[in-house]
Structure 1
């Protein structure tokens, strides 16, 4: 879907308020989560009403897999992290979205999950925009 063309799609307000747009990919809008403890990207398929992976068409499933791999590789190269974590949980925000998080041994919460690990720590705005630009360049 092209930027500015919603086609019935509405981004969940929680995703919008805690992240910044980075790029439009073929299926997904790529956003960076405003959480400075971990480089954290979000892939949001631009499909209205979709909550689960199996609700996507087979073509959209393939595209989401491709875009997740593309973004994961770029984040790994950019951060030189120990591990990339990818997940689609949806327990709180039901709209389908995939988390791509760069993890390092010794980061807050390692080796546990990033969810439920203290309060979110926002980036300085210029640092968030700088990281978003680095991700765009890497893609």
Structure 2
């Protein structure tokens, strides 16, 4: 019996789905204080990058680079934070956060710093246009 991919409940609750790329689902954290995107490989039971095949690892890095280049070009951040953490949500996912020296949490990490401020429909429409 094959286990189907499903998005971790925390990611489904906190994020907006933007696109499906060849390997990953592209998500947007619903917090307009930080342009915060997440790549989630659409494979069941993954916790670590090394749980992917070698070819899938390469594809993940290519998709991460694609997203990073897009964020750099479109959003022009002061710094891109890219990380695969999993202490709270064990499902493999890669954070891509565009950081600015003017954002409310700079230079501290964004996790739990301030309550989320959801995107407006207009803000979402602008971001979705790139995907």
User: Which has the higher mean CA deviation after the structures are superposed, 44-53 or 114-123?
Assistant: 114-123
Q: What secondary structure is seen at the aligned counterpart in 1 of 2:102?
A: coil
Q: Compute the TM-score of the two structures, normalised by the length of structure 1.
A: 0.87
Q: Is residue 22 from structure 1 mapped to residue 18 from structure 2 by the alignment?
A: yes
Cα distance in 2 for partners of 1:106, 1:35 equals: 16
Partner of 2:72: 76
Q: Compute the TM-score of the two structures, normalised by the length of structure 2.
A: 0.92
Deviation at 1:26, TM superposition (A): 1.1
Q: What RMSD in Å do the two structures reach over aligned CA positions?
A: 1.5
Partner of 2:83: 87
Deviation at 1:46, TM superposition (A): 0.6
Q: What secondary structure is seen at the aligned counterpart in 2 of 1:107?
A: coil
Q: Is residue 101 from structure 1 mapped to residue 80 from structure 2 by the alignment?
A: no
Aligned length: 130
Unaligned runs of 5+ in 1: 1-6
Which of 51, 59, 63 in structure 2 is aligned with 1:63? 59
Which of 15, 18, 43 in structure 2 is aligned with 1:47? 43
Deviation at 1:38, TM superposition (A): 0.6
Q: What secondary structure is seen at the aligned counterpart in 1 of 2:31?
A: coil
Unaligned runs of 5+ in 2: none
User: Which has the higher mean CA deviation after the structures are superposed, 94-103 or 114-123?
Assistant: 114-123
